[in-house]
Structure 1
Amino acid sequence: MSRQFVTEAVMLAIYGELLLTPVPVEYMVPYTSLLELYEFISSDEPLMSNSDDDKHVKEKIKELVAYLEEPLNKKKIQKGLNMPWAKSSSILIGETARITVINAMDTAPYGEFFDPVETELLLVSQREQVPLLTDQPELIHRIIDASVPVTVYDIDDFQFALESDPFSHHL
């Protein structure tokens, strides 16, 4: 059985360890998170504080975008966009890692406290009953403060999340 996490597409580009897991992992990614990758590539704003790290991360984002735009992968993603909340077929992105794109559509429930992509991450996590993986401590604090009923892991706790009981995701 593979472990499942909801995360942003950019996390898969920034953190290489997410693709090199000792156990099978499926990352559920809202489609709007994929669209953000294009914004990151074209933006002059740095993603990382170190310019060499920023260049490296932007190159990894370009590689991920190119991979997802390959005909078979693009077709899988497009098929998942036919209906709200539809899922793409899984796309292998490492030896043990795969990505499933979800056409999350509703941003209303948490729109006052979270941006649209964050809201979709939360809704996918709730809907699929899968923990959320993030590198944003402020997002974790806002989730806790808003009492959003999801399990969330900081990227620093990823190994712990992999080792924890896959059936104890719920708060």
Structure 2
Amino acid sequence: MSRQFVTEAVMVAIYGQLLTSPAPVEYIVPYTSLLELYEFQDSAEPLMDNPMDDQHVKRKVSELISYFEEPLNQKKIRRALQMPWAKSLPILFDANTSLIVINAVDTAHYGEYFDPIETELVLTAQREALPILTDQLDWIHRIIEASVPVHVYDIDDFDFAVDDPMFNNP
């Protein structure tokens, strides 16, 4: 069975190792983070400090957007948008990697600590009882500071996270 993580779509675009995991993984991604990809694609603001890395990441963001816009994937995503907290069927990247889009609902429960997408990620992680995977150390610190009952992995610990027995699926 796949190891599951809650994450943002941009993490999947930026970190190629997430799509080439040797073990089966499934990413649960709030729909609003898919929409954020379009903002990143069109933004003049760099995503990465190095200009070559930034070009590469923006190319990967565009590729991911194109993949989500393929008719079958688009149909899966649209079905998930029919009800709050509905999930799409898995969108496959390869034999070991898939992504599920969830129609998360920001209830402003953590509004004073997190932005709307961060709130959706936290609520999704709580609802699905899954860990969050991120590269945002400041957000990890805010999660800890706010005593939010979720488990969080830094992207640099991805290999450990995949093997962590605490969250192995039955």
One fold, TM greater than 0.5?
A: yes
**Equivalent residue of 1:93, what SS?**
strand
Match of 2:28 in 1: 28
Conserved? CA contact 1:3–1:166, under 8 Å = no
Structure-2-length-normalised TM-score: 0.97
Identity of paired residues, percent?
A: 66
Matched, 1:126 2:100: no
Match of 1:87 in 2: 87
After superposing the two structures, state which structure 1 stretch, 129-138 or 89-98, moved more. Answer: 89-98
Conserved? CA contact 1:9–1:37, under 8 Å = yes
Match of 2:76 in 1: 76
Shift of 1:105: 1.0
Amino acid at match of 2:77: I
CA distance in 2, matches of 1:35, 1:27: 16
Match of 1:3 in 2: 3
Match of 2:113 in 1: 113
Structure 1: which 5+ runs fail to align?
none
**What is the number of residues matched between the two proteins?**
169
Match of 2:47 in 1: 47
Structure 2: which 5+ runs fail to align?
none
CA shift digits 1:70-128 (9 cap, x unpaired): 00000000000000000000000233110000000123110111000000000000000
Structure-1-length-normalised TM-score: 0.96
Shift of 1:166: 4.9
Change in Cα spacing, 1:28 to 1:57, as seen in structure 2 (3 Å) is: same
CA distance in 2, matches of 1:111, 1:20: 34
CA distance in 2, matches of 1:69, 1:32: 15
Matched, 1:15 2:25: no
CA distance in 1, matches of 2:156, 2:143: 17
CA shift digits 1:144-168 (9 cap, x unpaired): 0000000000001100001111547
Correspondence list, 1:55-66, <5 A: 55-66=55-66
